[in-house]
Structure 1
Amino acid sequence: VYACGFSGGAKVAAGFAFSRTDFAGVIANSSPFDEQLLSSGKNISVFLLAGNLDFNFTGAVAFDKKLSSTGVKHQLVVFDGKHDWADKNSFEEAMQWMLMRAADDGKIQRDKISFSAPDFNSWKKENYDDEKILQQENETEHAMGQNFAHFSFDYWKQKISLLNKAMNAATAKNIRCSYSRELNYMSMLGFVFTDGAVQRGEYDLAKEFLAIYQLADPQNSDVWYFKAVLSAQSGGADVYSSLEKSVQLGFYDSEKLMNEPAFSQIKNSSVFQSIVAKAEANKNKM
């Protein structure tokens, strides 16, 4: 039996795998997990999946290196994508690797394995494990997190513009992906800070954070969701248009739409219900 989880769910899955006797491995998608679990001494196989554009990518690479010093059987595979579930092929590779480890441990017969082992370390051919690049990326992201709420909109506008230019000018894929991950990290910060300000009722501050968020990731459905929330709070006229844009870009949390206090006055309208239905349709496509 194998546990699997995405992002925060990967940490939960690892907790199950290391604490129960009936789990042989864990597939951690887009997030490392608590290192203290490794001290359990349990013979668990760990398969890490990370998108090459994921803001958690450097953490996954660092955790993979950490595992190398523990004796835990492990493998990292990098897929093309952001902070999201890996593609079908990557999960097939994960299960192939798990079955190979089970054969190594004598849990299944090796002649039961009918596939050829893929090149699990092909991601290193793109130099994604370049320590200098990853170190610079970590330092940049740390500074972003420290300064996001303190530096001006104009500062972040220039910073984001420079990152976009550097990303577009880069010829090496690993460098281009590194700049993209920094932009995605900015997007993540934008979400966290905007959401926090909205939850606290600090709507003017939320608008400032959202403006930066939109610069970093204008095609993110959550940007337009927040624009709708803030518009509704101030009696703006673009609530519906922002929500339509959000579902057009893939927003799928219909329950969140229905439970958002800012939409309490419009949630029974036919237009709003149509938007909720579109969000539900997005969810069903996943």
Structure 2
Amino acid sequence: MKSFRRVTKLLVVVALILLCAPQSTAQVAPVVPVGKVVEKVALRARPDQSYAAFLPSNYTPERTWPTIFCLDPRARGKIAIERFVEAAEKFGYIVVCSNNSRNGLNGAAVSQIFTDLWDDTHARFSIDEKRTFAAGFSGGARLAVSFASRCQGCLAGVIAGGAGFPSGIEPDARTSFLFFGVAGVDDFNFGEMLNLDKKLSELKVPHRFESVAGGHEWTPKDAILEAVAWLTFHAMKAGVAPKDEKFIDEQFSLRMATAERFSRDKQYVDSLRAYREVARDFEGLRDVKLANDQADLLARSELLRKEEKAQAEAYLKQLREAGEIRSLWMKPFDAEQSKSFRFEATMRIDDWRKKRELAIDSSDRRLARRVLSQLTVESYETAQPSLAAKDYSQALANFQLAQAIDPKNANLSFEIARVYALKRQKKPAIESLEQAVELGFKDAERLKSEEAFAEFASDPRYQKLLTTLSTTQKQ
């Protein structure tokens, strides 16, 4: 998770100063059709870079429009923007999602990508400077928060899915942007997001936190709708958007009903949070006495304290269990041990895998999914810098740990094959490639273009794999 957070501070600050510089008011007629997603809009100044874009069907350059810049950790602009289309059309937002910003880039590169994206969209579209937001998932969420924290007002808010503030940046009394956080109940960052919610509440920072079904993945469309509605509400509250009393009434009723439903379902932590958020958001706009009274009542409940304690203990257990398994896996072989450390780690992983597949949602299933997804993401994150440093043994150990958690993952088998090839270990490299193909790997071009396999190109088994993949692609 740490590598998600590494952004070179000085370079980001410089880039964000550029972002906040006055933009030309002259608007160029967009080449983007309204009411539909365009998967690739090339930057005029950098044709090698692009973004996915959506303009609401009533878009016109004669007025300014609220805009969301979204960042996917794997530069998948299309996947990201699909989550926003319904909300963007309903509430009248421009959405642009980078096809280049991703985890693993250095601070200079990611700052330049965002700056170029900002410049191109401001030249191309009619953007409301007071209603400009960033959104992201995982490492993309951390980048969105980083930009909002450092650009001193150029971003009015952030929608953060699956992750919060990056290392080196903590919320404080000066945090002025709106924050809408979302995490799946199976997400390994769920505990982090709960703690962030408490911190923001103590600081009285305008924010909301929503838990949803699922794990470490992009925020679902329903939650995006809620997030964009919330940003729209706050724009009305701040006087930067026309006030719509009917819309405010609807939002108040919906959110009170949600708080009441949580209480009926005995989700006391969620209910308390929902009532407090209603009271905070609607104070001065609607009568919030009932929300305050219900929040006070819940805050004194023993059932609430019990649930809060269980959540805190689950998070600590997740961190401890994942840390112990990783430590065991990475220990060198000890001939004096009756069973290897890795064997013990494997047994513990297998136990969590069984719990992960339980049919009914439970605290055990949630914990299992958080532990295993944390280990998987950490393994990928640790393997990449190890590869860059040519520490192939460390990279291999991390990919193998991820494979122990997800043994049917074809891409992991391919990555393991690549590391063996870099170690010049031909036999296990070919065997891992064969395993990848058996598991469903189909990218012949990726295999042919991978330089690590160049010295195996004449091997009959390698040639057979290439032939198999090429034949499959033609069918």
What range describes the TM-score normalised by the shorter chain of this pair? 0.7 to 0.9
For 1:8, the equivalent position in structure 2 comes to 139
Shift in alpha-carbon separation, 1:145–1:102, aligned structure 2, 3 A: farther
Q: Does 1:261 align with 2:451?
A: yes
Deviation at 1:239, TM superposition (A): 5.6
| C-alpha separation in 2, matches of 1:124 and 1:224 | 44
For 1:282, the equivalent position in structure 2 comes to none
Deviation at 1:160, TM superposition (A): 0.8
Q: Does 1:185 align with 2:316?
A: no
For 1:74, the equivalent position in structure 2 comes to 207
Asked if 1 retains the 8 angstrom alpha-carbon contact of 2:399 and 2:412, the reply is yes
CA RMSD of aligned residues (A): 3.8
Asked if 1 retains the 8 angstrom alpha-carbon contact of 2:185 and 2:213, the reply is yes
- Which structure dedicates a bigger proportion of its chain to helix? 1
For 2:315, the equivalent position in structure 1 comes to 134
Asked if 1 retains the 8 angstrom alpha-carbon contact of 2:328 and 2:342, the reply is no
For residues 185-225 of structure 1, the C-alpha deviation after alignment (integer angstroms, 9 at most, x for no partner) is 22223334444554444545544444332121224454222
Deviation at 1:3, TM superposition (A): 0.8
For residues 2-24 of structure 1, the C-alpha deviation after alignment (integer angstroms, 9 at most, x for no partner) is 11122222222112223242421
Gaps of 5+ in 1: 279-286
Deviation at 1:164, TM superposition (A): 2.7
In structure 1, give the amino acid aligned to 2:466.
Answer: V
| Equivalent residue for 2:155, pick from 19, 23, 30 | 23
In structure 1, give the amino acid aligned to 2:434.
Answer: S
In structure 1, give the amino acid aligned to 2:160.
Answer: A
Asked if 2 retains the 8 angstrom alpha-carbon contact of 1:3 and 1:27, the reply is yes
Q: Does 1:241 align with 2:441?
A: no
| C-alpha separation in 1, matches of 2:175 and 2:384 | 39
Asked if 1 retains the 8 angstrom alpha-carbon contact of 2:173 and 2:203, the reply is no
| Equivalent residue for 1:83, pick from 216, 219, 229 | 216
TM-score using structure 1 length: 0.75
In structure 2, give the amino acid aligned to 1:225.
Answer: F
Moved more, 193-202 or 210-219: 193-202
Identity of paired residues, percent? Answer: 22
| C-alpha separation in 2, matches of 1:112 and 1:171 | 40
Deviation at 1:245, TM superposition (A): 5.6
For 1:100, the equivalent position in structure 2 comes to 233
Deviation at 1:139, TM superposition (A): 2.8
For residues 145-190 of structure 1, the C-alpha deviation after alignment (integer angstroms, 9 at most, x for no partner) is 5544227210111111222344456965233111111111222233
Asked if 1 retains the 8 angstrom alpha-carbon contact of 2:183 and 2:212, the reply is yes
| C-alpha separation in 1, matches of 2:395 and 2:327 | 17
For 1:271, the equivalent position in structure 2 comes to 466
For 2:418, the equivalent position in structure 1 comes to 229
| C-alpha separation in 2, matches of 1:64 and 1:211 | 35
| Equivalent residue for 1:125, pick from 264, 267, 277 | 267
**Tell me, what secondary structure is at the counterpart of 2:225?**
helix
| C-alpha separation in 2, matches of 1:81 and 1:245 | 28
| C-alpha separation in 1, matches of 2:467 and 2:268 | 46
Asked if 1 retains the 8 angstrom alpha-carbon contact of 2:400 and 2:416, the reply is no
**Tell me, what secondary structure is at the counterpart of 1:23?**
coil
Gaps of 5+ in 2: 1-131, 270-306, 333-340, 458-462
Shift in alpha-carbon separation, 1:259–1:56, aligned structure 2, 3 A: farther
Asked if 2 retains the 8 angstrom alpha-carbon contact of 1:140 and 1:182, the reply is yes
Q: Does 1:111 align with 2:245?
A: yes
In structure 2, give the amino acid aligned to 1:7.
Answer: S
In structure 1, give the amino acid aligned to 2:245.
Answer: D
Moved more, 257-266 or 228-237: 257-266
TM-score using structure 2 length: 0.48
**Tell me, what secondary structure is at the counterpart of 1:4?**
strand
Deviation at 1:28, TM superposition (A): 1.2
| C-alpha separation in 1, matches of 2:230 and 2:466 | 49
Asked if 1 retains the 8 angstrom alpha-carbon contact of 2:162 and 2:190, the reply is yes
| C-alpha separation in 1, matches of 2:329 and 2:197 | 29
For 1:155, the equivalent position in structure 2 comes to 344
